[in-house]
Amino acid sequence: MRYFIELSYRGTAYHGWQTQANGVSVQTTLEAALSQRLQHPVYITGSGRTDAGVHARQQFAHFDREEPLALTDQLVYSLNCILPDDIAIRTIFPVRADDHARFSAISRYYHYYITRQKNVFEPGLTYHFRPELDVAQMNEACRILMQHRDFKSFSKVRANVSHFRCLLDFAYWERDADDRLTFHIKANRFLWGMVRTIVGTMLEIGQGRMNLDQFSQLIEARDRTVAGRAAPANGLYLVEVGYPAEVLAQRILFR
């Protein structure tokens, strides 16, 4: 039988989602807790790989098991007691044998948070960036971004993918009452390092160091070396992974 796990995590202490030879990952930590609680080796597949230091408000993974699980609040509670404080399981639910955490997903939605004021209660959870930014100009850049499908210029150079096309649902910046900036972006898929590089490039636009014509030319160049530097990982959050309704049909949240 196949089961989906819905979880969240603070990525500060981890070398990303994927199992690493040289550091602790979210995947290996979760596998260890599941193996301990279920008393047999458990291996999981995530909906995608977040980089070192990136957080997730909503992430999904799946695992297979010969015997059916008793899906109770106690199971989720006991797993959360085993896991460290920076990883939390929301629910575990059965899916069909061919449902896949990565390949069945139809969208991913990210936030990137920037604060002008240092917040001692949220270290590692936002990007503290002091320069004043022209948000209107950054949103004009978002409108240009939405006109494109190939985002090779924003992908890490050694990305092992067959193509660089992504279908964006939206991309925009907003400023809240506390002067925090949030970048919203949603697409069917994202390239390795894509969101952080887009943010880093838009910070150049917001400071007047790059104009909109240059931004258009950058995208059309399909060359990572002409884009801005990637913004730090600590401001980036995976906030939603979308699936067809039938995949989530048996999802029950344990509060």
Q: So which residues are the catalytic ones?
A: 51
Nearest CA among 151, 143, 245, 226 for reference residue 195: 151
Residue 168 host element (H or E): strand 168-175
- Helix (H) or strand (E) holding 29, with range, is helix 26-38
The answer to whether 164 and 150 are in contact (CB under 8 A) is yes
Query: How far lies 156's CA from each of 94, 183, 186, 202, 214, in Å?
Result: 35, 20, 19, 17, 20
Nearest to 101 by CA among 246, 245, 4: 4
- The Cβ of residue 84 has, within 10 Å, a number of other Cβ atoms equal to 14
Closest CA to 3 of 93, 80, 103: 93
Residues in a beta bridge with 170: 186
- Provide the pairing of β-strand 55-64 with 236-242: parallel
Please state, in angstroms and as integers, the Cα–Cα distance from residue 227 to each residue in 17, 83, 157, 160, 236, following that order: 25, 39, 11, 19, 18
* Residue 9 known to bind ligand: no
* Residue ranges at the known binding site: 110
Binding residues for substrate: 110
